[in-house]
Amino acid sequence: MTLKNPKFIASLTKAGPFPGDHLPKVVVAGKSNVGKSSLINCLCNHAGLARVSQTPGKTRLINLFDINGEFILCDLPGYGFAKVPEAERLSWGRMVESFLNGTRDIRLILHLLDIRHEPTREDIQMAAWLKHYDIPFLAVLTKADKLSRAQRQRSMPVIGRTVVVQPWEMIPFSSHDKLGRDELTAKLIEAVGTKEQKPQEI
């Protein structure tokens, strides 16, 4: 199951009007290089829709994608990229805060965390900050293809305890082998309240 008819709409630096801003929204957040853009491409089955890079800090703007005229996927710029100068870090915070405060009808926040590592201090702060908006929240544990099933089962409770999420709020995910794609797609569709989209496998 994948999302139909994805279309890049715009890159923003703050909240503001954009085509489709009346539609429900799903926000993708997480530290730099955790796999946000790859996840969007995977959910939409569209390589190259969101720019993926080996270099952390690639996505510096809020990129918006229209999904079949039904909802908007919002790719936030990653945090925690050590080489970013302090001034840019501050402007990142203002940009994300203004977007989360000024954008209506955000139905779901996906907080991406690397399944291989204990969450960083910034991941923990971000989780607390995102949860304070009181919007439905899921922790998506990325790059699950890099761990065996047994390793995943060991790391998930550690991540859950560290960012304070319940087992049912966590989804192991891999953009490379599509683990978790159907489950996550179903959660998005449920959150935005659209009709189920037809299966569309490669």
Residues contributing to the site for Mg ion (CB under 5 A): 36-37, 59
Q: Residue 62 Cβ, how far from ligand GTP at the closest point, in Å?
A: 11
The whole-angstrom separation of Cα 164 and Cα 7 is 34
The whole-angstrom separation of Cα 51 and Cα 33 is 11
Q: Residue 116 Cβ, how far from ligand GTP at the closest point, in Å?
A: 10
171 or 194: CB nearest ligand GTP: 171
11 or 91: CB nearest Mg ion: 11
Look at residue 4 and give the partner it binds from ligand GTP, Mg ion, none, a contact being a CB closer than 5 to 8 Å depending on partner kind. none
Contact 175, 142 (CB under 8 A): yes
Q: Residue 35 Cβ, how far from ligand GTP at the closest point, in Å?
A: 3
**Residue 125 burial (10 A CB sphere; 0-12, 13-18, 19+):** middle
34 or 100: CB nearest Mg ion: 34
Give me the residues that bind ligand GTP (CB under 6 A), please: 30, 32-38, 52-54, 56-59, 78, 142-143, 145-146, 174-176
The DSSP call for residue 31 is B
Q: Dihedral angle at the C-alpha atoms of 103, 25, 88, 11, nearest 10 degrees?
A: -100
